[in-house]
Structure 1
Amino acid sequence: MFYLMILAVAASRFLPHPPNVACVAALGLFAGSYMSGRRAYLVPIAVMGFSDVVGQMLGIPGLGFYNLVAMAMVYLGMVASVPIGRLLRNASGKSRLWKVPAASVAASTVFFVVSNFGLILAGWYPLSVAGFTACYVNAIPFFGFTIAGDLCFSAVIFAAWELSQARFRVPAVAQA
């Protein structure tokens, strides 16, 4: 069930959507929260890598390859959601209910800072105060889309998982 959820969410990258409304950071939060070890970090990398390869081959706008430095920083921004998801691991009950949206906004913010810094490093903006300012100001509308997408996808992924666990959990008495 867990891996089917990851595949379903990853497939959503191929559906039409506004810019920066993606499921990958939410998936990174989810993987960080529920997967142990390093494999949690592979989830956002694999989803991004697979969708970029397929997007490049099929010519899907918004998916595929571009400047290597900028891409690396986008991937790093997505992977940064995993350690934020790790912080959710110890939360439970009602406290977790409020921490998932907060973690989602934190992941969106980290992605915003890291990915736009990648645009500066890639040479799309000058390495100056004016370049930094222009880059981050121009990215503000995309930041809104990122937050909206991460909040929605996080709510859906975490709720679906928790509901599936509650629905299909085997009682302790039956396990004995």
Structure 2
Amino acid sequence: MMFYALTLIVAASRFLPHPPNVACVGALGLFAGCYLAGRRAFLVPAVVLLISDIVGHALQIPGMGFYSPVAMLGVYGGATLGVMVGRWVSRANQASDQSGLGAKIARICGGSLAASTLFFVTSNLGVWMAGWYTMTIGGLFACYAAAIPFFGYTIAGDLVFTAVLFGAYQFSVNSVTVRQQLVPVKVR
């Protein structure tokens, strides 16, 4: 239940004023990859993007809504690649259960950077393939070069939202565990 509550809260943050590319979707993919089993993990970032794009389009919010299907495919694809990174982070953290909290946090932060990079590569490839730049190697390089300033925002947003999601989830899990340990045992 906590997973879905955090997902809704973070998804709603897309509607708050924010710098370009400072969004929750990369962190959400990473989070879903770590904590949801099966294919539904891939649906989380895609559905959050779709619903917020529908609402953004209806409300005419700048930077949200529908545009080139090819470019959108790159954006949605890039967002869902974070799920695969989350799966890797989860497996790495489980495989090295003996490692300390610092090592686990480092893997999560590394996963966040990897998800940001995959999003950058995939979404901008979609922009280039949509024809917004000339369909040459020079056009591809120009597309990526123009996107570099936004990459910093993507990294910052993903790191912040990753810290919020993973931190809040771990806090809630620890709180439940502590409460269960504090419940008095009835003696007969």
TM-score category (smaller protein): over 0.9
Tell me the equivalent position of 1:124. Answer: 132
Letter paired with 2:55: V
Distance 1:105 1:78 in 2: 13
Q: Measure how far apart 1:120 and its partner are.
A: 1.0
Q: Could you say what secondary structure the match of 1:122 adopts?
A: helix
The TM-score normalised by the length of structure 1 is 0.95
Q: Where do 5+ consecutive residues of structure 2 fail to align?
A: none
1:52-131 aligned at under 5 Å gives the runs 52-90=53-91, 91=93, 92=97, 93-94=100-101, 95-131=103-139
RMSD between superposed Cα atoms in Å? 1.7
Distance 1:55 1:79 in 2: 20
Q: Could you say what secondary structure the match of 1:115 adopts?
A: helix
Distance 1:97 1:133 in 2: 34
Q: Measure how far apart 1:87 and its partner are.
A: 1.0
> Which has the higher Rg, Structure 1 or Structure 2?
2
Tell me the equivalent position of 2:11. Answer: 10
Distance 2:172 2:184 in 1: 18
Runs of 4+ in 1 over 4 A off after TM superposition: none
Describe the superposition over 1:28-55 as per-residue Cα deviations: whole angstroms up to 9, x where unpaired. Answer: 1000000000110010011000000000
Distance 2:84 2:141 in 1: 28
The TM-score normalised by the length of structure 2 is 0.89
Q: Determine what percentage of the aligned residue pairs are the same residue.
A: 55
